């Protein structure tokens, strides 16, 4: 019988962060899950140190980067839903899986993407996801993958496109929403403690992210939609809002107002 969840951890020389992530999984009160660690060939001893622990599967093989590793992990796992938990990130508390499983039972869906909120360690604030995904929501922002539980069939049907260096998870979400027949369901629940400051948020990758965003939306949205959404973003001072959200002094107020707006719209 296949497990409810496959928790997929991809890594390369993660150090102590691997233990941090695994311990948050071991503490879960809901135990109908499997852990698959996809390691790209670590040499720091971190993976060897956890091999004695039970309830996990470790696959060590070279890969072409994080998205290739995530694809491989999804192929090898067997759960009904997949959840990608990066090294250094952790579940928000010990009842995350139990509460998500209960929410799934109360809100059954074929090809479901169940998602919630995250705590962002860089700013020390909770980031609320958009509870009502639509085309504009997909253009503006989608939940980060640490907030999402995907029906495994969605990831297998359209794996992460490894040609995208930092936005492959965004492209995959848009495919699920516009072409894959996915149903998105939001639970106002804190899912993960997100470390942040990773590969996609550093240096040249910020510019690369913007370029990949422009390319990806053209695949799934009409020119008219894109122009409309760009205008809305300009009118609503999107660059300024991004700075407020990323500044630890203003992130709390900004995210609080955003959360209130989401509740009003809901």
Is residue 243 one of the residues assigned to a domain?
no
Domain range spanning residue 152?
5-220
Q: What is the pLDDT of residue 242?
A: 59
Token representation of residue 261: 């707006």
Q: What is the pLDDT of residue 201?
A: 55
> Contact 38/69 with Cβ under 8 angstroms?
yes
Is residue 121 one of the residues assigned to a domain?
yes
Number of H helices, E strands in the chain: 11, 9
Is residue 144 one of the residues assigned to a domain?
yes
What is the CATH classification number for the domain harbouring 146?
3.90.550.10
Is residue 229 one of the residues assigned to a domain?
no
Give this prediction's pTM.
Answer: 0.87
Tally of domains in the chain: 1
Rounded Cα gap, residues 51 and 5, in angstroms = 21
Q: What is the pLDDT of residue 226?
A: 96
Measured over the CA atoms of residue 204, residue 205, residue 207 and residue 212, the dihedral's sign is positive
Rounded Cα gap, residues 5 and 101, in angstroms = 9
Is residue 186 one of the residues assigned to a domain?
yes
- For Cα atoms 231, 249, 265, give the angle at the middle one, nearest 5 degrees: 45
Q: What is the pLDDT of residue 49?
A: 85
Q: What is the pLDDT of residue 176?
A: 98
> Contact 101/80 with Cβ under 8 angstroms?
no
Closest C-alpha to 114, from 92, 94, 133, 136: 133
For the chain, the residue count is: 266
Measured in degrees and rounded to the nearest 5, phi and psi for residue 155 equal: -70, -35
Is residue 244 one of the residues assigned to a domain?
no
Per-residue pLDDT tens digits of the chain, which is 266 residues long: 789 999 999 999 999 999 999 999 999 999 999 999 999 999 999 998 888 776 678 999 999 999 999 999 999 999 999 999 999 999 999 999 999 999 999 999 999 999 999 998 888 888 889 999 999 999 988 999 999 999 999 999 999 999 999 999 999 999 999 999 999 999 999 999 998 765 555 567 888 999 999 999 999 999 999 999 989 888 875 555 556 556 566 666 545 655 655 555 55
Is residue 241 one of the residues assigned to a domain?
no
Is residue 66 one of the residues assigned to a domain?
yes
């Amino acid at each position: 019988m296949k497990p409810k969840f496959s928790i997929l951890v991809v890594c390369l020389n993660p150090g102590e962060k691997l233990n941090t992530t695994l311990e948050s999984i071991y503490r879960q009160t809901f135990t109908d899950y499997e852990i698959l660690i996809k390691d790209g060939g670590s040499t720091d001893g971190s993976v060897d140190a956890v091999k004695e622990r039970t309830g996990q599967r470790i696959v060590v093989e070279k890969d072409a980067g994080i998205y290739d590793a995530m694809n491989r992990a999804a192929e090898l796992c067997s759960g009904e839903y997949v959840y990608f938990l990066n090294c250094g990130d952790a579940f928000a508390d010990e009842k995350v899986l139990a509460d998500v499983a209960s929410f799934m039972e109360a809100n059954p869906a074929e090809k479901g993407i169940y998602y919630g909120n995250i705590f962002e360690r860089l700013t020390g604030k909770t980031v609320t996801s958009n509870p009502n995904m639509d085309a504009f929501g997909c253009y503006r922002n989608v939940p980060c993958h640490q907030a999402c539980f995907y029906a495994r069939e969605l990831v297998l049907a359209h794996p992460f496109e490894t040609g995208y260096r930092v936005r492959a998870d965004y492209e995959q979400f848009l495919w699920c929403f516009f072409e894959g027949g996915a149903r998105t369901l939001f639970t106002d629940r804190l899912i993960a403690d997100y470390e942040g400051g990773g590969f996609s948020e550093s240096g040249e990758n910020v510019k690369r992210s913007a370029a990949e965003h422009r390319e990806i939306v053209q695949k799934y949205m009409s020119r008219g939609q894109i122009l409309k959404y760009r205008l809305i973003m300009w009118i609503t001072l999107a660059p300024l809002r991004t700075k407020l959200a990323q500044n630890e002094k203003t992130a709390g107020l900004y995210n609080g107002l955003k959360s209130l707006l989401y509740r009003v719209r809901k």
